[in-house]
Amino acid sequence: MTSKLLLAIDTCGPTGSIALGQLVGGELHILGETTLGGQRPSETLVGSACEMLRMAGVQFVRLGAIIAVNGPGGFTGVRVGLAAVKGLVEPAKTPVVAVSRLEVLACKANVDSAALDAHRHEVFLRVGGGNGQATELLAGAAEFAALDKPPKRIAICEETAAELLQAAWPDVELIRVNAPTAADAIGLCAARVEAGEFVDLASLDGNYLRRSDAEIFGEADEAAAAAKEAAAARRKRVPPDAVIQVRPMREADLDEVVMIAASQRQAPFWPRESYRTALDPNATPRRIALVVEVSGKVAGLAVASLLPPQAELESMVVDTHYHRCGLARRLFEELTGRLRQAGVTEVILEVRASNQAALGLYRRLGFVQTGLRPGYYVNPPEPAEDAVLMRLGLKGS
């Protein structure tokens, strides 16, 4: 009798979870489930998955499939979960099933439609057609009004979503269930594993269903208020007594490094093995890889490849929790000191044309634009994007 082990990862909601199941002769058994507490699943996800498999006496290479709940939900949570999935499946090329959290919620309530709180007086809404077809969208007052035939029954797990739906559609029947978990995702997707309905890992992406902040905060006064609030919050992120240290990256840092980079849409995505190669002093090209710590916790990273007298800044990423706290500058100052010692007189880089935050930082650090590569970044189904080329001469080298 054939048996398959299934690992499910869901980091889309306020609380994430992972679950391990076993398919034996078409019958599913849940072997365990773990909740990822708090708002930062990157801190516990990989370790919790490893511990769950260890307790079950299972190695990653023995997994028959991984089930990835790919949204909708918080952007950071969705991307962290997908980055972990991509890193875990790489060694053994484990197949992946991707599933919407809305579909898992609808299935849990045994209905075709579901809604999740999207904040800002909106919901992530799944409208089922009763024939296996469904549409998912971000819905607010305009979308509620435009929908000719609201669903008769909608699964919910949050009262905030219930209030919005009841105000828009008083006659809708709300089916209240507990929030969907990774174990629920295994229950829904076990048949898809059996049928071989796997996704192409290269095209696996988040189901974000988000509007841009520019659309939401279009008015100048709202933007100014948001900026003031963000500035006040930043001042609290690094306490006055925090110890900030920049040091060489170590293999023990790799889980945190991968998660920090993966949590940001415009950061380059490197699998764990690429970062491990960056630590190898005998690799070609040789690289300098650094991390910045805040009171012992990795908060950012920088990697540069060396081809003296030139170096390329390949990645510099700071955890979103510490954006605009000066950590990127601390990282770069330490990096340039080490580059000078290696005989480097010029640093080059490329950055997405839309990444205005990074462009502004690099200009403040002294970089100047030297060119443009049209359509360099290709990530279907999104349109191709230009790469801005920049250069910085190192004085005193």
pLDDT of residue 320: 82
Q: b/e for 7-35, b at 16 or more Cβ within 10 A?
A: bbbbbbbeebbbbbbbbeeeebebbebbe
Please name the CATH architecture into which domain 3-100+181-203 falls: 2-Layer Sandwich (3.30)
CB 274 within 8 A of CB 268: no
How far is the C-alpha of 104 from the C-alpha of 111, rounded, in Å? 10
CB neighbours (10 Å) of residue 236? 7
pLDDT of residue 43: 60
User: For the chain, what are the domain ranges?
Assistant: 3-100+181-203, 103-176, 227-393
How far is the C-alpha of 231 from the C-alpha of 238, rounded, in Å? 12
pLDDT of residue 223: 47
CB 10 within 8 A of CB 174: no
Q: What residue spans of the chain are helical by DSSP H?
A: 45-55, 75-89, 101-109, 141-146, 159-168, 182-195, 213-216, 220-237, 254-262, 272-278, 327-341, 356-364
Torsion of CA 218, 266, 387, 210, to 10 degrees: -40
Check for a shared fold between 3-100+181-203 and 227-393.
no
Q: Which residue, chain included where needed, has tokens 């071989």?
A: 196
- Residue 322 is among the residues annotated as catalytic for this protein: no
Q: Which residue type, as a one-letter code, is found at position 308?
A: P
According to DSSP, the residues that pair with 133 across neighbouring strands are: none
- 0.85 exceeded by the pTM? no
Annotated catalytic residue within 350, 377, 382, 385: 350
Torsion of CA 333, 230, 360, 347, to 10 degrees: 20
- Residue 362 is among the residues annotated as catalytic for this protein: yes
pLDDT of residue 211: 59
pLDDT of residue 321: 81
Local mean pLDDT, 10-residue blocks, the chain (397 residues): 86 89 88 75 72 81 89 85 83 89 95 92 86 82 82 93 91 94 94 91 80 48 50 58 92 88 76 89 93 93 93 92 88 95 94 89 92 80 82 81
Do the strands 368-379 and 382-393 form a parallel or antiparallel pair, or are they unpaired? antiparallel
CB 351 within 8 A of CB 387: yes
pLDDT of residue 341: 93
Annotated catalytic residue within 208, 275, 322, 362: 362
Residue in 187, 202, 249, 23 with CA at minimum distance from that of residue 96: 202
Handedness of CA 365, 327, 40, 218 (dihedral sign): negative
Residues 6+ apart with CB under 8 A from 385: 352, 353, 354, 375, 376, 377, 379
pLDDT of residue 354: 87
How far is the C-alpha of 298 from the C-alpha of 322, rounded, in Å? 11
Please name the CATH architecture into which domain 227-393 falls: 3-Layer(aba) Sandwich (3.40)
| Terminal Cα-to-Cα distance of the chain (whole angstroms) | 67
